[in-house]
C-alpha cells in the first residue's frame, strides 16, 4: 500500500513544529508487506548552516529523526488507537561533510507485522529504524539508528 505522503507530511509538521521550522520536505512515504521507506529533505538554507557552510549537525539529526518518525507513522499508524510510538534512543555517525540539499532515507530493521505481533502478545515492542543521510549526488554523509517503541495506551 502506498501511503499518502501529503497526509503524513501534514500530520508530522502539525505535531512536530521543529521539523516545519527547519523547512523539512517529505518526498516519499510507503509501507507494504515488503517493507516501508520514508524520504525527507532538508533545504540548503544558510540559516541552517554550520561554521563550514554545510547543514548544522543538529539540523541533520532532526532530518534523520523526522524520516524515522514518518516511517513509524506509515508502518504503525493503524495502531495509534492502542499504542503511542516513542523514540527510545538514537546514534548518529557523521561520515562526510554534507553540502547543499541533503536527504534522509529511513527503513525499518524488521517487518512491521512482527512488531505488531509483539504488541498483540501484550509486550512493549522495540524496533530500530535505519536512516541514511545523503547529499544531492547520493553520497552518504551520515547514518543514524533510532530505536523506537510502541507503548501500549492505558
Dihedral of alpha carbons 70, 74, 1, 144, sign = positive
Kindly report, residue by residue over 70-90, the tens digit of the pLDDT.
999 999 988 999 999 999 999
pLDDT greater than 90 at residue 41: yes
pLDDT greater than 90 at residue 4: no
CB 148 within 8 A of CB 127: yes
pLDDT greater than 70 at residue 130: yes
Kindly report, residue by residue over 8-38, the tens digit of the pLDDT.
888 888 888 999 999 999 999 888 777 889 9
Query: Which residue ranges form the domains of the chain, and what is each CATH number?
Result: 5-152 (3.10.129.10)
pLDDT greater than 60 at residue 1: no
Instruction: Write 56-62 long-range contacts (CB < 8 A, 24+).
Output: 57/94, 59/22, 60/92, 60/94, 60/98, 60/102, 60/104, 60/133, 60/141, 60/142, 61/90, 61/92, 61/144, 62/18, 62/19, 62/22, 62/24
Average pLDDT over residues 145-149: 98
| Better pLDDT: 2 or 57 | 57
Q: Which three cell numbers stand for residue 104?
A: 534522509
Amino acid at each position: 500500500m502506498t501511503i499518502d505522503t501529503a497526509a503524513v507530511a501534514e500530520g508530522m509538521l502539525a505535531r512536530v513544529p521543529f521539523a516545519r521550522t527547519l523547512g523539512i520536505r517529505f518526498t516519499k512515504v510507503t509501507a507494504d508487506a515488503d517493507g516501508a521507506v520514508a524520504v525527507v529533505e532538508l533545504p540548503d538554507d544558510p540559516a541552517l548552516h554550520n561554521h563550514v557552510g554545510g547543514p548544522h549537525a543538529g539540523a541533520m539529526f532532526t532530518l534523520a529523526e523526522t524520516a524515522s518518525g514518518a516511517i513509524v507513522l506509515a508502518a504503525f499508524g493503524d495502531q495509534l488507537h492502542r499504542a503511542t510510538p516513542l523514540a527510545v534512543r538514537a546514534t548518529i555517525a557523521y561520515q562526510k561533510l554534507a553540502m547543499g540539499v541533503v536527504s534522509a532515507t529511513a527503513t525499518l530493521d524488521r517487518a512491521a507485522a512482527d512488531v505488531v505481533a509483539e504488541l498483540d502478545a501484550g509486550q512493549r515492542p522495540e524496533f530500530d529504524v535505519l536512516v541514511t543521510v545523503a547529499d544531492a549526488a547520493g553520497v552518504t554523509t551520515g547514518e543514524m539508528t533510532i530505536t523506537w517503541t510502541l507503548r501500549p495506551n492505558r
